[in-house]
Structure 1
Amino acid sequence: SVGHAAIDRLVEEGADQIHLGPLDEDAVHLLCANVLDAAPDATVLSLAAQGRGNPFLLEQFLTALKDTGQIHISDGIASVIGSELPSGLPSAVEQRLRGLSGEARALLRAGSIFQRAFTVHEAARLLGLPATRLMPAAEEAVSAEVLLAQDTRLVYAHDLWRQAMYNSVSGPVRATMHHEAALAAQEQGRPAVEVAVHLVKAGLTGDRGAGEVVRVAAEEMATRAPSTAADLVLDAWRMLSGYDEERSRLSATAVGLLASAGRVAEARELGEATLRSGLDLRTRTAVLLGLAEALKHAGQNRAAADYAQRALAEPAAPQDLQARLHAIRAHALLFVDDLPEADRAGAEADRLGQATGEYAASAFGSTARCTVARSDGRLSDAVGYARRAVTVADTAGGPALQQHPRIWLGDTLTAMDRFDEAEQAYAVGRRMAENLGTGWSQPLWHFYTANLLAARGRLDDAEAEAQAGVHIAEELTALQLCVPLRGLLTRVAILRGQLPVAHGHLRAMERLCNDGITAAPEEIAWSTSALQMADGQPAAALRTLGALYRWVPGRLLMFSNDPAAGPELVRIALAVGARAPARAVAEAVRLLADRNPEVTSLAGAAAHAEGLLHRDLAALRRGVDRFRDSPRPLARARAMEDTARAENEAGRQDRAVRLLQEAIKECARCGAHGPVDRMAKALRQLGVRAPAAEPAPALPQPLAGLTATELNLARLVASGLTNKEIAERIGRSPHTVDSHLRNIFSKVNVNSRVALTRIVLGGDRP
């Protein structure tokens, strides 16, 4: 071009050259914020990374996204809607490349067909040209830095350029090129997935062999990328004839993959449509299995159990599919309160899974038995089932790992006060989930990690973790996972003294339940009753918990989930004079503690509950003593508060004051402002002022409102670490870091990392 010629002449005459490298991550973040007038979230930054730091390309890309309405801004945070390339980008890229020769642009169009590095020979084959003819074009494209030379291959310098060039190729020409690429890939022995992708994009109408290639390739992809595999199969399914037998098999495969990826509505719609066509027994059973899995993911547990039972009613159903059906049914029955049948189904899943090589069903069946054992109060047995599931999954690999048995192992270890082991189990499991690409499991990891953090008394971290889980679950439309997350956020907000926030979370949870989503009864009732008690409605709380009072001692899951729940249920019943349910709970908690003498918190909870029931000061003191060895600071503080009240009633005001002061300090360290305010009022009634809060270090005003966790995170941002690096440093996921940063940006009133860094380093206030 004229511009390039002018620059070349200046260089020849001795002009200094300044080589500009790609923008670093902070600069990309700032550019995104400036173009979008909002702080970019992870979806924006992920797409921006495809530009590899090229400012021209990034600005064109972001502007095109804005112009096509693909940017959504809420609370100063920008998110990308959809994954389609904005329509304005190809023309912008074409303008950038118009100085290239026709053959160079033809090479670029052919190269865009490959989602990898390609050779000149491969591009020439798609164009029907001898490779030697394209050699000058290749040199030209490399010289223009549109392509890069990698040994003997060429690769696009920026994938956004590749996508834009791909979109500029007309549909018929693109299909022809993909067909040629598929033939070449088969001849070269390329991976089946690559062949399948080209076949699908070439169009499969009437090509039975191609459909089978796609199905096999999707099964290979399913473990690490179920959503991508589902898209591949769906594309092939749409292209085959409506009455094609191969189409039915692809449909069954797609239903299962969609369920694994958490795309529940699509799985259910496709599965129901497929069942209305004539199917052989295996395909019909596979579709029913996929529907059961999809409904289980959606929280429709009773319907999931019904679909599974419907398939199992076929006497000749294949045993490998039976194993998987028993596993799904076992887990669904856990949520509809049929624990004995859930245990039997879990055992059958384990037996058939081992016999048929369906190790995923074996592992999943064992995790269901883990939950049943916990509900029975047999925590050692529960750990045994969870460890068996982990061993089966780790040994078998593949789909068995997708069951993520470390979730159940970590949760059971948490119930046994073995917090460090639980955290390690979650960390390992989460890394595996990221490697496997099982997006549906991410909200679960966030929930159970948040639950552990709340038990440790780290309420700020628990809130951020749970908020991240809700955000991801909503993105995945896996709304059933929002129910326990919203429940936990409700309880955390109560502890933090934020009752309006708690009501908001509870309303969101209730809307989901009203839409037919089910969750563990303990989860819904416990969160609802906690807020009712905070609002001073013990009678309403007792009604909410009615079923749980009736279930003891046969179902102890709530008390192993949270030992403090036992004394709280006793307190609720006594508040309205209902001694019978209070006694039943106290006896159930004692039974749980006696079955698990090694768990200190359960022993403390049992003594605490008995002390409340019988107004027994000695029992309350025992509860406090046992809780002193517990890693649960908030449960310990609650026991101290109740014991202080009893000490005062017994005329020992000095002991009462000391206990309240200690409990206030414990809760203040956790950020539990609700209990702090309640106990400070009790101290004032005793004529004593509450202990002064520990002085916080002097901070600039915008930072003064940050919690300790948020301040630490802000300092890590200011040190130049990326979200991913921060996540690795603090042992959390990038989504959790993103959740923290949303809160920080809101409190400090900034919309970029650069502005936050300026404040942290003592620069100008916004």
Structure 2
Amino acid sequence: MAGAGGSLTRRGLRGREAELEELEALIASVARTGSGGLVLLQGEPGIGKTTLLAEAASGARAAGFSVGVGKADELHHIVPLSSLAACLLHGDQPLLSGDAFADLSRTHDQRIWLVERLAEAIEARAGSVPVLIGLDDAQWADPLSRFALKQLPTRLRTSPVLWVLTARREPAGPAEEVVAAAVGNLPAVTVPLGPLSGAAIDQLAGDTLGAAVDGNVRDLLDGAGGNPFLAAEMLAGLRTAEASDGLMPPGLVVGVRGRLSSLRPDTLRFLQMGAVLGRSFGFHDAAALCGRPTAALIAALEEAVRAGLLDDDGDHLVFRHDLLRQAVYVDIPPSARKALHREAAHHLVSAGHQPIDAVPHVLRGALPGDEEAVALLRRAADDVLPVTPGLAADLMTRALDLVPSALPLRFTVGEQTILALTRAGRNREALTTGDRLLAGRPPLEAFGRLQAALGGTLWNMDLAGELRRRVETALAAGGAAPEIGARLAALRALALSRGDDLVAAREAGETALRAATAAGDREAHILALSGLGEIAQNAGENAVALERFAALSAIDSAFLPEEIVAHLHVDDFESGERLLSEAADRAGATRQAMMLWAQGQHDLGLGRLDDADAGFMTMERLEDEVQVPVQQVNGRVIRSRIALLRGDREAAREHLVAARERLVAKPNPGNTAAVRFLEAVHAEADGDIGLAVDRIRQVQQEGPFMRWRLLRDWVDSAIRMALRGAEHELAEDLAAQAGAHAERNAAVPTARGIAAQALGLVRNDPAMLEHAAELLKASPRPLVRAAAYADLGEALLAAGRKRPAAAALAHARSTFAESGAHAAAARAQRAREESGAGGRRAAAKQRPVQGWGALTASEKKVARLIAAGHTNRSAAGLLVVSPHTVNTHLTSVFQKLSVNSRVQLANLVMALPDS
């Protein structure tokens, strides 16, 4: 960090003793405790953030840390993962190899999966030595790095990883977002850097000039306002002036320009071309913009380095400080800047750079009607769509702005823009964009394309009726290419899946599938199979649904969660578990939140309430992270029922409130029916049977398809409510529904057993309930079996058959208890006591809030595995759950045990009597 004219040793640390001590304390704490931390160094440009970060990195290395430090760049702030690449690939021992990082950056549509892989790599390094990861100028971090930085510190809070960010003061900026995400999860400190004191500036001047500071120099330095970098530049300018004619240009900026004015014209021009390219740039690229061969510019490069303006690391040239780059850049006339950015974009693409590398120049230099710029933005948007759909949407919106409304190209670009906006979850913006384009009266072929592109938008917005209206209008208009016609037909079938006439919907789906096959269009094929799968599910035809979803996931593995859940609906948990295990190895090609939904359904079906609850909670968190809520209402409904089964009424109510809140955002019939059913369950628990029956009736009226989807495994609860409310006709309707479902799924033991159970409840027939219990012995769902035995026991008890009643109730109680359904187990025990066979009931044991006894069975398993040295991923493999679910369990473990690191957890587990 020496300037022109000699060393400025420790100049940025003058007056920073307190801040340096704070950093040293954090470094020592991370090394001592084995837990993570985060610090943000914040202040104006040149205030000393970079120097303090460098000192922290140096101190951490000396303390045995593995260190990775990088810098975000203003002109590369949109290149996906470029900022974190700078942190993880640099240093003596890079945290990731270049090949491994390249594999991560190619991950398809999986920001969450990518973050998990990064976490695993950092966690592995932190298992042997503490780690410091520093990012300078975090205000310019690219979107994907920002996403990762908001997740990684919390994800790695139990490992010795210290994150050090520097950033300018920017309310609600990227760095502030990272800190906000970390607060409450790990120690997070913001260190503001203010102006240096006059005494510190005097010391800085003495370091530079090698002599006592006189009044004239002190007066001059007052213009630096306590900014160490600017003071140093003024001092360097002073030394340059003294070495020439003794003149010192007045004013701070003029002082920096004074240094530049001493350069030869070729050198200044070379620096200007570099400033256009960014703070870091290639020698060949700058030479190309100068229009000169590289050999002719060696002297200019040498002078710029000697002047302390550029550093040369062998691969790139870097302005020593961004303020220097800005001083050069602002002296280029604005019109020339635009032209140079356009030339830079053209050169970078011609030289083989990725389109995204040229995009910052396009954004600064493109003019309306620039079709080359539009083409470049489109290519870049395609490249980044899988990992940063929001950025892709921004690029396409800009591309659309550049295309004049009179050009046919506008409709092609508009179609791509709609798709990108929809992928980014910006559905309303996509619909507005589409309608604006449609108002331009496009040709019939473009009209069909735009309506097909809006299909996913309308489906995401739960506007099935509007989707059907639009695609039918487009189909009737004609003129669409065969593949677009096939997509429109498939979208129509998808829309019909939400209607009452599922026979007509199925016929439409089959027709669409034939059209997709004939057109050879993959997108149409996916849409048709998706529609047919939805239709089969809504008709209660589980085997057909499995066939459709299996075919769908064979084409696109992103739909594997749908196939897994379809296997569970036919009681094939073995295949579901196999697919979940396979998905863990190729998770980069699936939707992580939906995989957790499938995992949660799998665990719930097998009575693993702890894992199911953690899985649904993690699913919601991941959906929040990517801002694409899909299953949050249903997840909260299930979590509320789990809480009621456990006996946690407070948590159950909290989940009900959350489900209602999320219903406002997605008030489709399915979500509405799910919340109404949950309200019925709560009303029954509160003793309000009238309200419970009213809500069940509403569920039945939401639409025929909801009967199969929602009440597939819960119809027995609905029948009990109806019977308690003396609504026998409603109970019979529900039992008939269960019978029809069994007929559609004759090979599924759970379906046949539930139908017999429903009939037995309505008829109050112990023999039928006993038959149901026998049928359900073949079901893999313990909670369903337990409920059937509880019903059988109570019916036998009412019939005066106390001995068999006690046996059935004992079976129900033990099965409920094994699943963690303690409230349900207690109800079965109370009923058993009424039979006279229960003995004296032991007082219910309240689980403590803190300590080892507060942990659930799943949390104890996770704690023991992590204490034994397993990573989240290896523990997940042994437990057959997602690494994200392990992380959720681990968070709870640390809170309940009041520990902050894996080392502390290991020590605690080792001290347990049974460890």
TM range, smaller chain: 0.7 to 0.9
Which residue matches 1:405?
559
Q: What's the secondary structure of 1:662's corresponding residue?
A: helix
2:546 matches 1:546: no
Rounded to whole Å, the distance in 1 between the matches of 2:867 and 2:232 is: 38
Corresponding letter in the other structure for 2:185: I
Higher mean alpha-carbon deviation, 208-217 vs 461-470, is at 208-217
C-alpha displacement of 1:691 = 7.8
Corresponding letter in the other structure for 1:543: D
Q: In the alignment, is the contact (CA less than 8 A) between 2:66 and 2:132 conserved in 1? A: no
Q: What's the secondary structure of 2:631's corresponding residue?
A: helix
C-alpha displacement of 1:492 = 2.0
C-alpha displacement of 1:471 = 2.2
After superposition, the C-alpha distances for 1:333-362 in whole angstroms (9 at most, x for unaligned) are: 333444234323322332222222322221
Higher mean alpha-carbon deviation, 427-436 vs 229-238, is at 427-436
Q: In the alignment, is the contact (CA less than 8 A) between 2:562 and 2:598 conserved in 1? A: no
Which residue matches 1:340?
503
Which residue matches 2:180?
72
Rounded to whole Å, the distance in 2 between the matches of 1:167 and 1:570 is: 77
Distance 1:477 1:54, change over 3 A: closer
Rounded to whole Å, the distance in 2 between the matches of 1:128 and 1:721 is: 57
Q: What's the secondary structure of 1:273's corresponding residue?
A: helix
Q: 1:32-71 to 2 correspondence within 5 Å?
A: 43-46=149-152, 58-60=164-166, 69-70=176-177, 71=179
Distance 1:145 1:124, change over 3 A: closer
After superposition, the C-alpha distances for 1:475-529 in whole angstroms (9 at most, x for unaligned) are: 4443453222222222222222223322332233333434562142653443333
After superposition, the C-alpha distances for 1:631-677 in whole angstroms (9 at most, x for unaligned) are: 10111111111111122223332332232222222222212122123
2:657 matches 1:503: no
- Residue 593 of structure 1: which of 742, 761, 766 is its match? 742
Q: What's the secondary structure of 1:277's corresponding residue?
A: coil
Q: In the alignment, is the contact (CA less than 8 A) between 2:468 and 2:496 conserved in 1? A: yes
- Residue 356 of structure 1: which of 519, 523, 534 is its match? 519
Corresponding letter in the other structure for 1:258: L
Q: Percent identity?
A: 24
Gaps of 5+ in 1: 7-15, 33-39, 81-85, 395-400
2:600 matches 1:450: yes
Higher mean alpha-carbon deviation, 222-231 vs 323-332, is at 222-231
Rounded to whole Å, the distance in 2 between the matches of 1:220 and 1:41 is: 18
Rounded to whole Å, the distance in 1 between the matches of 2:272 and 2:832 is: 77
Which residue matches 2:239?
none
Q: What's the secondary structure of 1:603's corresponding residue?
A: helix
Higher mean alpha-carbon deviation, 215-224 vs 702-711, is at 215-224
Distance 1:165 1:118, change over 3 A: closer
C-alpha displacement of 1:365 = 1.5
Which residue matches 1:262?
425
Rounded to whole Å, the distance in 1 between the matches of 2:503 and 2:631 is: 24
- Residue 414 of structure 1: which of 555, 558, 568 is its match? 568
- Residue 463 of structure 1: which of 607, 613, 624 is its match? 613
Rounded to whole Å, the distance in 1 between the matches of 2:408 and 2:861 is: 59
Rounded to whole Å, the distance in 1 between the matches of 2:853 and 2:387 is: 44
After superposition, the C-alpha distances for 1:216-237 in whole angstroms (9 at most, x for unaligned) are: 5534655665444323212323
Corresponding letter in the other structure for 2:466: A
Higher mean alpha-carbon deviation, 350-359 vs 454-463, is at 350-359
Rounded to whole Å, the distance in 1 between the matches of 2:713 and 2:669 is: 21
Q: In the alignment, is the contact (CA less than 8 A) between 2:449 and 2:480 conserved in 1? A: no
2:688 matches 1:582: no
Q: What's the secondary structure of 1:647's corresponding residue?
A: helix
Which residue matches 1:670?
819
After superposition, the C-alpha distances for 1:536-592 in whole angstroms (9 at most, x for unaligned) are: 33332332232554699x65x645666532322322222222223322332332333
Distance 1:695 1:570, change over 3 A: closer
Rounded to whole Å, the distance in 1 between the matches of 2:536 and 2:324 is: 56
Q: What's the secondary structure of 1:405's corresponding residue?
A: helix
- Residue 67 of structure 2: which of 5, 8, 22 is its match? 22
Rounded to whole Å, the distance in 2 between the matches of 1:460 and 1:662 is: 21
2:789 matches 1:625: no
Q: What's the secondary structure of 1:460's corresponding residue?
A: helix
Q: What's the secondary structure of 2:425's corresponding residue?
A: coil
2:424 matches 1:316: no
C-alpha displacement of 1:534 = 2.6
Q: In the alignment, is the contact (CA less than 8 A) between 1:60 and 1:92 conserved in 2? A: no
Rounded to whole Å, the distance in 1 between the matches of 2:154 and 2:794 is: 59
Higher mean alpha-carbon deviation, 221-230 vs 620-629, is at 221-230
Q: 1:266-277 to 2 correspondence within 5 Å?
A: 266-277=429-440
Distance 1:536 1:752, change over 3 A: farther
Q: What's the secondary structure of 1:60's corresponding residue?
A: strand
C-alpha displacement of 1:454 = 1.0
C-alpha displacement of 1:95 = 9.3
2:639 matches 1:531: no
After superposition, the C-alpha distances for 1:262-301 in whole angstroms (9 at most, x for unaligned) are: 2223323333333333433333333333333223213333
Which residue matches 1:565?
714
2:789 matches 1:640: yes
Higher mean alpha-carbon deviation, 633-642 vs 736-745, is at 736-745
After superposition, the C-alpha distances for 1:4-26 in whole angstroms (9 at most, x for unaligned) are: 799xxxxxxxxx98875327645
| Corresponding residue pairs, total | 716
Q: In the alignment, is the contact (CA less than 8 A) between 1:345 and 1:365 conserved in 2? A: no
Corresponding letter in the other structure for 2:893: I
Distance 1:322 1:740, change over 3 A: farther
Which residue matches 2:442?
279
Q: In the alignment, is the contact (CA less than 8 A) between 2:805 and 2:835 conserved in 1? A: no
Which residue matches 1:744?
893
Distance 1:560 1:176, change over 3 A: same
Q: In the alignment, is the contact (CA less than 8 A) between 1:456 and 1:632 conserved in 2? A: yes
Q: In the alignment, is the contact (CA less than 8 A) between 2:285 and 2:348 conserved in 1? A: no
Q: What's the secondary structure of 1:58's corresponding residue?
A: strand
Q: What's the secondary structure of 1:466's corresponding residue?
A: helix
Rounded to whole Å, the distance in 2 between the matches of 1:283 and 1:139 is: 54
Distance 1:49 1:635, change over 3 A: closer
Rounded to whole Å, the distance in 1 between the matches of 2:430 and 2:187 is: 26
Which of these two proteins has the greater Rg computed from alpha carbons? 2
Rounded to whole Å, the distance in 2 between the matches of 1:165 and 1:299 is: 50
After superposition, the C-alpha distances for 1:593-614 in whole angstroms (9 at most, x for unaligned) are: 2443321212221221122122
Which residue matches 2:38?
none
Corresponding letter in the other structure for 1:546: R
C-alpha displacement of 1:122 = 3.3
Corresponding letter in the other structure for 2:445: R
Gaps of 5+ in 2: 12-60, 69-121, 136-145, 196-225, 237-258, 261-266
2:387 matches 1:237: no
Q: In the alignment, is the contact (CA less than 8 A) between 1:611 and 1:617 conserved in 2? A: yes
Rounded to whole Å, the distance in 1 between the matches of 2:885 and 2:324 is: 33
Which residue matches 1:325?
488
Q: In the alignment, is the contact (CA less than 8 A) between 2:502 and 2:539 conserved in 1? A: no
C-alpha displacement of 1:146 = 8.7
Q: In the alignment, is the contact (CA less than 8 A) between 1:468 and 1:739 conserved in 2? A: yes
C-alpha displacement of 1:460 = 1.5
C-alpha displacement of 1:701 = 5.6
Q: In the alignment, is the contact (CA less than 8 A) between 1:298 and 1:479 conserved in 2? A: no
Which residue matches 2:528?
365
Which residue matches 2:264?
none
Rounded to whole Å, the distance in 2 between the matches of 1:511 and 1:245 is: 44
Rounded to whole Å, the distance in 1 between the matches of 2:501 and 2:304 is: 70
Q: In the alignment, is the contact (CA less than 8 A) between 2:272 and 2:328 conserved in 1? A: no
TM-score (norm 1): 0.78
- Residue 208 of structure 1: which of 371, 384, 409 is its match? 371
Rounded to whole Å, the distance in 1 between the matches of 2:842 and 2:290 is: 78
